[in-house]
Amino acid sequence: MSSKSHPYPPHTSFDGGDLDCGNGLLLLIRQHIDPLDAGQLLEIVSYEPTVPVDLPSWCRLTSNELVNVIEEPEQGRWRFLVSKGPFTAQEEDAPAPAPAQPTAKKRGKKTRKRPQMPVTQEVVTPTVPTEFPAPAPAPKIAPLSVLTMGSWPRKPWLLQAVHEHLAGRMTEDAFQATADDAVELVLAAQKRAGVDVVTDGEMRRDNYSSFVAGRLQNCQLIPITDLLPYVDDPEEFERELRALDVPAGEVRHPAVFGPLGRDKPLVAHEVRYLQSITDAPVKVCLPGPYLLTRTMWMECVSDRAYASREEMAADIVRVLREELHELYSLGTALIQIDEPVLTEVVYGRHDGGGRTFMCGALDELAGSTDDELAFAQSLLAQVTEGFDPDRLALHVCRGNWTTDESAALEGDFAPFVDLFAALNVGTLTLELATPRAGSLDALRGIREDQRVCVGVLNQKQQALEPTEDVVARIAAAVEAFGKDRVLLSTDCGFATFADNPIVADTLAQQQLAQIVAARDAYLQQAGDTQ
């Protein structure tokens, strides 16, 4: 036995053997650390030389504290002392020394292993329907209608329920009942603001896209911090996550471990409940096929089921089309397909506004910019083929994870015009209120039968802009596209990530009310009573 000991005794300990972080050690750590109280200590014994490289980064990302490291070269092992959350020594105890510096060789991108992620769920036979419900009529959306983008700030009690549900500590029925209460509050706020088309605020989602994984067969949500062992450059990955305002420990990432299937609605249940409590036209947001493909394809796990991302994308297209059929059958007024990662393809960078702004597209681009845009266009064309375009919208923005404008992507819509014009989509929902988005002139070339839901207010602002500025943006949009082709909204949602609201709920309501007031002021100035 080693004569060395930690400065504080652990509350529990386990031997991880030669498991590395990517091949099951993180699962064991979570099993042992989750039952501990905050500040209690876990000792991890490891014989794997990569663990001293990965474990400190994992601790930092998860807000756990690496209290001490003992290296025992004579036994070929390390002993790590990790606190659940921050560690505070008792006054009677001696202060802990700084953690010993691991001596494991730092690995570069070329030498890093690509381990296989452990699968903790059973692979099931995917559900593939052969019949679809018939579409039902939907309310028409009048020109210059004011729409909510989608997400709304969550109340603290709902956030707690979201996390309890994701962790399996709250039943599905209890969570849905709690979410119902939250939706009613969001609907009331939208009514007070005077908007014309409502959403449920995405109250049932942890974020705008990864929630889908929790509702698909053969897909599971894992903490994004647990992906550290599977990226090429762990240090770069850590820097990128720290550039986000989203708490990394609360963000989950989809992992596909078998053929994808849809045995329950992705978002149709959201529409169904909202329609039961309002007569207003309902809009719902659905993550797009390119976004989901980029997010869900990980070679360390997805290649168990699919030979390539293109093969997996075919099943993503199928399940999205199944969802569209159900949404049309409910009479959903507008179905918005979210594809913000398109701007990352063209304008992405690695200094804080790069490929991680959607907190999920961990892979590098598989091809050139043109190749990726063509791939995205192909997937979107397959998803939307044959559906009524008047009820379909495509949303593109430049990131909504922070109020810091300098951290978001910048560039106009000109590179996307051909893609927009080619799609079977009747409405383009676009970020246009911020100078980062360029001018309306960049959209010349879209089809004349396509409406533009114009972002006329930057929702990231923490105070209301002058109403006359919003009126001016409305006037410019009408001049560019014609009144009949213009709808109005904020640039993006109010809480794309549940744990990271962009504004408070009171300000969200005020911003929507301001757009309504600006629209009415514009109509009055134009002598239009609508």
Given this model, what pLDDT does residue 276 score? 97
Domain membership of residue 213 (yes or no) is yes
The b-or-e profile of 306-335 (16+ CB within 10 A means b, else e) is beebeebbebbbbbbbbbbbbbbebbbbbb
Q: Which two tokens stand for residue 430?
A: 């676009």
Residues 79, 162 share a domain: no
283: β partners: 334
Residue among 316, 63, 69, 364 nearest 212 (CA): 316
Residues 213, 75 share a domain: no
Rounded CA-CA distance 184/199 in Å is 11
- CATH number at 47 reads 3.30.110.40
Measuring CA to CA, how many Å separate 405 from each of 81, 208, 437, 510? Answer: 40, 20, 11, 21
Domain membership of residue 144 (yes or no) is no
Cα 296-410-284 angle, rounded to 5 deg: 50
Residues 60, 164 share a domain: no
Domain membership of residue 50 (yes or no) is yes
Are 19 and 78 contacting, i.e. CB atoms less than 8 angstroms apart?
Answer: no
Residue ending a domain, among 49, 83, 117, is 83
Question: How many domains does the structure of the chain reveal?
Answer: 2
pLDDT in tens, the chain (530 residues): 456 889 999 999 999 888 877 667 887 888 888 888 889 999 999 998 888 888 888 888 888 899 999 999 988 999 999 999 899 876 444 444 545 445 444 433 334 445 566 666 788 999 999 999 999 999 999 999 999 999 999 999 999 999 888 878 899 999 999 999 999 999 999 999 999 999 999 999 988 888 888 899 998 877 777 777 666 666 666 666 665 555 666 667 788 888 999 999 999 999 999 999 999 999 999 999 999 998 888 766 667 788 888 999 999 999 999 999 999 999 999 999 999 989 988 887 554 444 444 444 555 566 788 999 999 999 999 999 999 999 999 999 987 777 777 777 889 999 999 999 999 999 999 999 999 899 999 999 999 999 999 999 999 999 999 999 999 999 999 999 999 999 999 999 999 888 888 899 999 999 999 999 999 999 999 887 66
Parallel, antiparallel, or unpaired for β 77-83 and 65-72?
antiparallel
Q: Which two tokens stand for residue 274?
A: 């909202």
Rounded CA-CA distance 69/80 in Å is 5
Measuring CA to CA, how many Å separate 288 from each of 237, 376, 451? Answer: 24, 9, 19
Domain membership of residue 455 (yes or no) is yes
Neighbouring C-beta atoms of residue 45, cutoff 10 Å: 17
Residues 160, 77 share a domain: no
Residues 314, 188 share a domain: yes
Rounded CA-CA distance 489/313 in Å is 31
End-to-end alpha carbon distance in the chain: 84
For 56-115, give the secondary structure using H, E and C.
HHHHHHHCCEEEEEEEECCCCEEEEEEECCCCCCCCCCCCCCCCCCCCCCCCCCCCCCCC
Question: How many Cα atoms sit within 13 Å of 525 on the Cβ side?
Answer: 11
Domain membership of residue 133 (yes or no) is no
Domain membership of residue 112 (yes or no) is no
Residues 457, 320 share a domain: yes
Residue among 297, 274, 125 nearest 197 (CA): 274
Residues 172, 23 share a domain: no
| Cα dihedral 152→153→155→158 (10° resolution) | 60
Given this model, what pLDDT does residue 358 score? 47
Provide the CA 467 distance to its chain's centre, in angstroms: 31
Residues 161, 61 share a domain: no
Are 385 and 424 contacting, i.e. CB atoms less than 8 angstroms apart?
Answer: yes
SS3 of residue 255 by DSSP:
strand
SS3 of residue 160 by DSSP:
helix
- CATH number at 472 reads 3.20.20.210
Given this model, what pLDDT does residue 374 score? 95
Rounded CA-CA distance 332/364 in Å is 35
197: β partners: 147
Given this model, what pLDDT does residue 169 score? 86
Residues 353, 208 share a domain: yes
Residues 278, 179 share a domain: yes
Measuring CA to CA, how many Å separate 468 from each of 196, 471, 521, 527? Answer: 21, 5, 9, 17
Residue ending a domain, among 83, 110, 140, is 83
Are 503 and 163 contacting, i.e. CB atoms less than 8 angstroms apart?
Answer: no
Rounded CA-CA distance 499/162 in Å is 10
Domain membership of residue 96 (yes or no) is no
Domain carrying residue 169: 156-525
Residues 494, 412 share a domain: yes
Residue ending a domain, among 83, 101, 124, is 83
Residues 277, 425 share a domain: yes
Are 417 and 443 contacting, i.e. CB atoms less than 8 angstroms apart?
Answer: yes
Domain membership of residue 462 (yes or no) is yes
